[in-house]
Amino acid sequence: MNAQDKKRIGVLGGGQLGRMLSMESRRMGSEITQWTGGENSGAANMASDVLLNAFDDQAGLEAFLQASDVATVEFENIPTQLLESIAEHIPTYPDAKAVGICQNRDHEKTFFKSHGIPTTPFRVATTEAELAAAFEAIPGDVIIKTLQFGYDGKGQLSVSQDEKTEVKKIWAEFQGARVIVEKRIQLQGELSVMIARGADGECITYDPAENIHKDHILDLSIVPARFSPEILAQAQEIGKKIATALEYVGVLGVEFFIDENQSILVNEMACRPHNSGHHTLDACETSQFEQQARVVNHQPLGSPALLKPVVMWNLLGDLWPSSSQEPDWTPVLSTPGATLHLYGKTSAKKKRKMGHVTFVADSVEEALSKAEHCRQAMNWSA
């Protein structure tokens, strides 16, 4: 592709994923317009142009279309009607259908089931009576999740077998919201796989990441993941199967549970680059963000090859001494193989993703040791 053919990329969303896409895209010669929907966290400031209009603002839509040759998303909660309107004028990757499935846990789990993709047993409940029926149908402990707008543990409630008798009280906690009830498994570990699929159907996967969560929020990602080669290969094949079934174009993240029987179960998917793929910026031949830029520009996919073992540490606002005061980064900056990424957000809050650190080394054990040394030095407890 010649320089004059490079597209102006319009990004829907105002967070750090769009920021990192902007940085990679501009390095490759593409201009970025990031439409935040009203948010101004500071993360979008690496874009060539930032639109702060609400997503239902007609003037915002017109300005976005004027500034963009192609559109993509950096988070799921974009109104599908808006995506459909944009797609009437410019190519949009991924499309509204894929985003709509990712937005709704019922649609997502039903999609998985219809394509023979393994998940935990589930039931949808829209009334108190349906919640009681779901409790009967799924024995043992369960997790209840809102169907939409839940992430990082928000909108979730764990219910033990003994607590299932409190149906009225539990239903009241969700204030009439539609929910999905899933069997709570004996978790042996969690994985995720990043997949990139081009408009021509070419599909590649990155090495699966082993993910460790704290309070439902990603804490560490470890690559290569410490599971059997069979499990890792199965995760990659399932990821490709999902992307192909969706006729997906873009970068897709798929999260997995490993249960007590070493069976692999799909938890959910994200129709965008993913927190657990941030290590690709420093440890892979092609980052997930460069891959996204390549896809929307109809360029060949880059190699996803892992160059060295890596651990990614997710930096939350809890680490900040105050909302406006950064931590002392000396332990990170003095560690060989460590790279600090900050997201440019104007204020820190508890549980807010403020940045990440990657630790590249010759082995997973060495990368983990580097990460643990920094975490202890900065008084972070897992």
User: What are the pLDDT digits (tens) for 166-182?
Assistant: 999 999 988 878 899 99
Q: Please name every residue paired with 10 in a beta bridge, in sequence order, or none if there are none.
A: 33, 71
**Distance from C-alpha of 233 to C-alpha of 221, rounded to nearest angstrom:** 18
Angle at CA of residue 293, ends 290 and 296, nearest 5°: 150
Q: How far apart are CA 151 and CA 83, in angstroms?
A: 21
Q: Tell me: the pLDDT tens digits for 108-121?
A: 999 999 999 999 99
Say whether pLDDT at 55 is over 50.
Answer: yes
| Residue 31 · residue 68 · CB < 8 Å | no
pLDDT > 70? residue 59: yes
Q: 299 is written with which tokens?
A: 């360029």
The helix (H) or strand (E) run that includes residue 26 is: helix 16-27
Instruction: For 214-252, write each residue's pLDDT tens digit.
Output: 988 999 999 999 999 999 999 999 999 999 999 999 999
What is the average per-residue pLDDT within 118-136? 94
Task: Answer whether residue 332 shows pLDDT above 90.
Answer: yes
pLDDT classification of 149: cutoffs 50, 70, 90? low
Residue 71 corresponds to which tokens in the numbers above? Answer: 């559109």
For residues 331 and 377, the answer to whether their CB atoms sit within 8 Å is yes
Residue 152 has pLDDT above 60, yes or no: no
- Grouping H, G, I as helix, E, B as strand and the rest as coil, residue 368 is helix
Q: How far is CA 234 from CA 266, 270, 305, 311, in A?
A: 11, 19, 18, 22
Q: How confident is the model at residue 312, as a pLDDT?
A: 98
Q: What is the DSSP letter of 235?
A: H
Instruction: DSSP letter for 184, please.
Output: P
- pLDDT at site 209: 98
Average confidence (pLDDT) over 343-350: 94
Helix, strand, coil percent values for the chain (each to nearest 5): 35, 25, 40
Q: Write down the domain spans for the chain.
A: 3-92, 121-183, 189-377
Cβ neighbours, 10 Å, residue 276: 28
According to the model, what pLDDT value does residue 7 have? Answer: 83
Domain at 121-183, CATH homologous superfamily: ATP-grasp fold, A domain (3.30.1490.20)
pLDDT at 70 (0 to 100): 97
Helix axes 58-67, 80-87, angle to 10 degrees: 40
User: pLDDT at position 307, please?
Assistant: 98
Q: Which DSSP state fits 92?
A: B
Q: What is the CATH number of domain 189-377?
A: 3.30.470.20
Over residues 351-375, the pLDDT tens digits come to 999 999 999 999 999 999 999 999 9
* Per-residue confidence (pLDDT) for residue 2, from 0 to 100: 44
Q: Cβ–Cβ contacts within 10 Å for residue 31, how many?
A: 18
Q: How confident is the model at residue 4 (pLDDT cuts 50, 70, 90)?
A: very low
Q: Cα dihedral sign for 50, 275, 146, 346?
A: negative
Q: What is the pLDDT of residue 348?
A: 96
Fold of 3-92: Rossmann fold (3.40.50)
- Which residues are CB-contacts of 376 (< 8 A; sequence separation ≥ 6)? none
Phi, psi of 116 (to 5 degrees): 65, 30
pLDDT of residue 3 exceeding 80, the answer is: no
pLDDT digits (tens, 9 = 90+) for 242-291: 999 999 999 999 999 999 999 999 999 999 999 999 999 999 999 999 99
Q: 0.85 cut: is pTM over it?
A: yes
Report whether pLDDT(98) > 80: yes
Please give the Cα distance from 277 to 273 (Å, whole number).
7
The average pLDDT across 113-135 equals 95
